[in-house]
Structure 1
């Protein structure tokens, strides 16, 4: 359990700088760097393009090297990159930083994290292990994110229109906090995480081209990749929560950040509950289907434009239900590797192949959301974003049905 806690700590901390920062503090982020939603989306695309290549090569890397070394180094260099963020004065330099994070958070980190989690879960507790990983990451993001919101509130009075200088100073303190935290976690992982042992360390067990062809020939791998694409679109839509609170509900920077932090708390509840429920039922895919259904209805409710702007409660309730669906699916989709009976010694490579396809929303979803929001100011842009969520969730539901059919 202590080892899983270390993985939870590492697994979320490394993404604070590239993702949580812009998700929770989106209105402040846009103001400080003086960029549009579309430009923020292109930053995520720079990250996503490098990440796509890194997913492919990171899988075999995880099958050959110690998770402890890979995770510790990744955390340390990601945190150092965060320190430089406060000294960036151009959009081009910010793009290079996001590309750099695409390398450090994925090539060295992602497959190693998931493989170590699969080893801990064993034969009987895969869904629970991945659910606890995602839910624990949600708890970690909520706790640390709430502290960061407190830092922003301390340096930035709770007002609707603070000056740019006030926003910049407050935001710098938040960035320094996140960067220092990530480096500290890297040190803890390097000191305390044990090297997981499995048969893949044997040269004879390492991935071969023949085994790779076998992996690519499995239809369940491709269906799982589609499931992750659709679920990850939902995850990217959570980036819109704080901006929605600002644009539609008229919330201040601090209040909007609090809405973003609320989503992080729901992540913990949804993912852990889904993990225990999936192990009890013996099928992660069944719970994933339910998650997609929730995403469809939540996306249609906000996307329809029926909710009254003057009653924030209805929007907050819809945001909570969206989180339940998104994070339930996100907490379980990699446990499908075990449900599909992929051998452990090639799990890192399998995860890499699935991730290359599954996380393509890192490339296209940011600019697409930015375009919708910039070209359709006000409520309409946000409605179109949530209708997109509902559409992808419907595709994900079909892919999950096909996965279950083929797997059986």
Structure 2
């Protein structure tokens, strides 16, 4: 068991080392625009390209993880991400920056995602799926936060203490992020074992079956669809929390500093929510606990914009922290549904790709729904409709998870 947790730790550090540079916009947006001489719309175009690449690579990412060793896929992801970051540090043209984001779509999507989820699923014993995925989500959050903190410290030190120009300071941060990914690449090659080498029960020997036949088997599996719906509902509710800052500032009229403090505190609910949900879920039944957690998360989301605009910070702060714990808890364990899908080891990666293709579509439609709600109903009413709509969807997630439990019990001999 100690070896399993060590392998999980390697997966956490590896995956957590990739995203800080890919999403450095969240901490350095203004500096990126100034350094690279691009507009906000152009930076948005880069992230739209990234999102499109993710959507296109979910399915082939799963297929790759069934055909190639996880250590090679994850190691390639780290090496590729680091090299692309070093390219970005040369301050290339906008056309080249778009190519870099396409590359990041490959290294943080195609070669990473399926291998990461499948490896975690195979590492975790059947009765510990919740805690392994919870620890993965929490650990990734901690690693990303640590690297982002170091990056910000480097940026601030060069800018303020050494009086370095802003573009030079940002380039140093990009190089730091790229270097961290490159350093982790050989560690992955050396330390990560192929999860298929672990003793996994119910392993299907039909690994040589063709892609089309594997796909046909999975698409006829109702548990795959139920898991996809469950994860989709959980992910779209999590997406709603991205608008918490806007809600607090525009409806409850909190200052920017107060809002920033509250939303920053919410980020630290990620490790707490993921680990708590994982261990509590395994103690009872992880999918059953996920169903209940989704209902609680949906109710908390829908309730927040119903509070009077004069509500004090003393009430809003714990409410937002509760939403953070619940939403991160749901996100931390919703991939534990994969173990209930009765999928063989040889096709589990393809199953991850199929589920992801459906489950992460909120990236496409949730922002559009938010815009529609805010345009049709102004102010607090718009937020109430938006939050209530997706909060109520937790009922669908609850029944999908419940049905998945029923099918899982029927398929168990």
Using a 3 Å threshold, how does the CA distance of structure 1 residues 26 and 378 change in structure 2: closer, same or farther?
farther
Deviation (angstroms), 1:261: 4.3
Using a 3 Å threshold, how does the CA distance of structure 1 residues 156 and 302 change in structure 2: closer, same or farther?
farther
Is 1:135 aligned to 2:138, yes or no?
A: yes
Question: Residue in 1 aligned with 2:22?
Answer: 18
Question: Residue in 2 aligned with 1:161?
Answer: none
Deviation (angstroms), 1:233: 2.0
Using a 3 Å threshold, how does the CA distance of structure 1 residues 245 and 186 change in structure 2: closer, same or farther?
farther
The two structures have a TM-score, normalised by structure 1, of: 0.80
Whole-angstrom distance in 2 between the partners of 1:381 and 1:43: 29
Is 1:53 aligned to 2:56, yes or no?
A: yes
Using a 3 Å threshold, how does the CA distance of structure 1 residues 373 and 177 change in structure 2: closer, same or farther?
farther
Aligned equivalent of 1:225, options 201, 223, 228: 228
Using a 3 Å threshold, how does the CA distance of structure 1 residues 389 and 142 change in structure 2: closer, same or farther?
farther
The two structures have a TM-score, normalised by structure 2, of: 0.79
Aligned equivalent of 1:297, options 296, 299, 305: 299
Partner SS state of residue 119, structure 1: helix
Question: Residue in 2 aligned with 1:276?
Answer: 279
In terms of mean alpha carbon deviation, does 392-401 or 218-227 score higher? 392-401
Deviation (angstroms), 1:44: 4.1
User: Is contact 2:305–2:380 with CA below 8 Å preserved after alignment?
Assistant: no
Task: Kindly report which structure 2 residues correspond to 1:158-307, keeping only aligned pairs within 5 A, or say none.
Answer: 172-198=171-197, 204-208=206-210, 209-241=212-244, 249-252=254-257, 259=262, 261-281=264-284, 283-304=285-306, 306-307=308-309
Question: Residue in 1 aligned with 2:116?
Answer: 113
Deviation (angstroms), 1:344: 1.7
Question: Residue in 2 aligned with 1:356?
Answer: 357
Whole-angstrom distance in 2 between the partners of 1:129 and 1:349: 20
User: Is contact 1:26–1:243 with CA below 8 Å preserved after alignment?
Assistant: no
Structure 2 residue runs without a partner (length 5+): none
In terms of mean alpha carbon deviation, does 25-34 or 76-85 score higher? 25-34
CA deviations on 1:298-353 (whole Å, 9 max, x unpaired) are: 322333363547x4444433332222122211121221111232222211111111
Residues paired across the two proteins, number: 393
User: Is contact 2:342–2:408 with CA below 8 Å preserved after alignment?
Assistant: no
Deviation (angstroms), 1:401: 3.1
In terms of mean alpha carbon deviation, does 357-366 or 193-202 score higher? 193-202
Deviation (angstroms), 1:171: 5.2
Question: Residue in 2 aligned with 1:399?
Answer: 400
Question: Residue in 2 aligned with 1:162?
Answer: none
Deviation (angstroms), 1:176: 3.8
Whole-angstrom distance in 2 between the partners of 1:96 and 1:276: 41
CA deviations on 1:237-292 (whole Å, 9 max, x unpaired) are: 4444566677653335xx776655433321111111111112111x2211212221
Whole-angstrom distance in 2 between the partners of 1:99 and 1:366: 22
Question: Residue in 1 aligned with 2:347?
Answer: 346
Deviation (angstroms), 1:152: 5.5
Partner SS state of residue 255, structure 2: coil
Deviation (angstroms), 1:117: 1.3
Deviation (angstroms), 1:224: 0.9
Whole-angstrom distance in 2 between the partners of 1:78 and 1:384: 40
Is 1:8 aligned to 2:12, yes or no?
A: yes
Whole-angstrom distance in 2 between the partners of 1:210 and 1:54: 20
Question: Residue in 2 aligned with 1:81?
Answer: 84
CA RMSD of aligned residues (A): 3.8
In terms of mean alpha carbon deviation, does 243-252 or 219-228 score higher? 243-252
Whole-angstrom distance in 1 between the partners of 2:88 and 2:246: 22
Using a 3 Å threshold, how does the CA distance of structure 1 residues 184 and 392 change in structure 2: closer, same or farther?
farther
Whole-angstrom distance in 1 between the partners of 2:372 and 2:179: 33
Whole-angstrom distance in 2 between the partners of 1:245 and 1:170: 32
Whole-angstrom distance in 1 between the partners of 2:383 and 2:136: 30
Question: Residue in 1 aligned with 2:320?
Answer: 319
User: Is contact 2:70–2:119 with CA below 8 Å preserved after alignment?
Assistant: yes
User: Is contact 2:228–2:358 with CA below 8 Å preserved after alignment?
Assistant: yes
Deviation (angstroms), 1:294: 2.8
